[in-house]
Amino acid sequence: MSVLKKDQFVLPKGVIYLDGNSLGPLPKAAAARVQEMITDEWGEMLIRGWNKAAWMEQPARVGNMVAGIVGAPEGSVVMGDTLSIKVFQALASALKLRPGRKVILSDNGNFPSDLYMAEGLVGLLEQGYELRTVAPEEVTEAIGEDIAAVMLTEVDYRTGRKHDMKAITELAHANGAVMIWDLAHSAGALPVDLAGSNCEFAVGCTYKYLNGGPGAPGFIYVRPDLADEVQPALAGWLGHRQPFAFEQNYQPGQGIERMRVGTPPVIQLTALEVAMELWADVDMQALREASVALQEQFIEEIERDVPQLTLASPRNSAERGSQVSFRFEEGYAAMQAVIDRGVIGDFRAPDIMRFGFTPLYLDAEDVSKAVAIIRDVMENRLWDNEKYKTRARVT
């Protein structure tokens, strides 16, 4: 079953885009829909758009679309704010569910922002709270009865290494801990079964594989049986049970609504809603199989033709997300040279050349063309040029 929808994306001529794990390309329908929203809704309706165009319901409506591809039931996911804010919300709520425990457990390969938010929360709470990090492969051994919450990103942002969501969640629960999953590199990349995992919380972003655009809002999932129990530390006015009653004291909204904070980014949500419509007929298992096939082809051809690069991702596809990373000492310069020749991947310190594989708009021919360009850059040392060695602000 093909999942290829290349004709529905804006893909610049001469570019092979292997960076959808950092920013997905523009869906062709998005620009017109956003312009319509700006002109016909914001322009003509003005403030009436909150009711007439159903802007206020958009975070829940789009949340249900996201829920459909992460294995969550309707009404358990809401959009808004950034992923970092959603991490903070989930962590703070998780700690309140385990008042007798003080340790947040994560791994040292987790995305830094997740760890920074945990550090910030620990600093605010004081009272002996602690963020404890271990190597990814040591997580299961570190889950003990002193852990309040386990916070992990399912797919490592550098290497693509994949945690076993169900097994780790079961272990966390066996030890009385709350489980939080970050799906930044999972949502839209591989099948996710939040309901089946039984985790309490999950968070994620939508500008990567979901193609919501730069700055697209994050999302948060709360297990339905806890939705009326969790206490959001960031008690924003739109998480209130009656925002427009303007009461002086916070009263949490019903269910997942209480995890809303501030005014939703309507323009950005409009672009995301269009992008999510592309997923309506996508079989996630078929997408996963196509992704793995592209990755396996890439690894085979790179290792055959480009011996200068060393595989950094797990060789077993079952242990990988939808990206493949290779190490090279001059990885930054090499990636810039590759990008300069039309193959867009990205670099992650200290030496990772990272490539994302999205079968919605990539095929086997794209992979072979990309490998040929990478081979040329490496074989002829085209990266060994000062213009490729000066690091830009975004790498």
- The yes-or-no answer on residue 157 being catalytic is no
Which of 223, 260, 348, 354 is the catalytic position? 354
pLDDT, average across residues 134-156: 97
Confidence check: pLDDT of 280 > 70 = yes
> What per-residue confidence (pLDDT) applies to 22?
96
Which of 187-196, 213-222, 384-393 has the least mean pLDDT? 384-393
pLDDT mean across residues, the chain: 97
Longest CA–CA separation in the chain, Å:
68
Helix (H), strand (E) at residue 125 = helix 112-125
Contacts of residue 43, Cβ cutoff 8 Å, sequence gap at least 6: none
Q: What is the pLDDT of residues 26-36, one digit of tens each?
A: 999 999 999 99
The CATH topology of domain 6-27+283-389 is Aspartate Aminotransferase, domain 1 (3.90.1150)
- Residues annotated within a binding site for pyridoxal 5'-phosphate: 83-84, 111-114, 153, 182, 185, 207, 237, 263
- The yes-or-no answer on residue 208 being catalytic is yes
Using alpha carbons, select from 204, 190, 375 the residue that is nearest to residue 294. Answer: 190
- Cα–Cα dist 378/395, whole Å: 19
Q: What is the pLDDT of residues 293-352, one digit of tens each?
A: 999 999 999 999 999 999 999 999 999 999 999 999 999 999 999 999 999 999 999 999
- Cα–Cα dist 240/237, whole Å: 5
Confidence check: pLDDT of 37 > 90 = yes
Q: What is the pLDDT of residues 89-118, one digit of tens each?
A: 999 999 999 999 999 999 999 999 999 999
Confidence check: pLDDT of 1 > 90 = no
Q: How confident is the model at residue 168 (pLDDT cuts 50, 70, 90)?
A: very high
Segments of the chain assigned to CATH 3.40.640.10: 29-277
Which of 156, 182, 351, 366 is the catalytic position? 182
- Cα–Cα dist 373/314, whole Å: 24
- Cα–Cα dist 101/85, whole Å: 22
Which of 207, 209, 298, 361 is the catalytic position? 207
Does 3.40.640.10 match the CATH number of domain 29-277?
yes
Q: How confident is the model at residue 395 (pLDDT cuts 50, 70, 90)?
A: confident
- Is the Cα torsion angle 91, 92, 97, 101 positive or negative in sign? positive
pLDDT, average across residues 165-179: 98
- What are the angstrom distances between the C-alpha of 376 and each of 174, 302, 340, 369, 370? 52, 12, 12, 11, 10
- Cα–Cα dist 117/126, whole Å: 14
- Residues annotated within a binding site: 83-84, 111-114, 153, 182, 185, 207, 237, 263
Segments of the chain assigned to CATH 3.90.1150.10: 6-27+283-389
- The yes-or-no answer on residue 182 being catalytic is yes
> What per-residue confidence (pLDDT) applies to 2?
83
> What per-residue confidence (pLDDT) applies to 108?
95
Which of 17, 111, 361, 388 is the catalytic position? 111
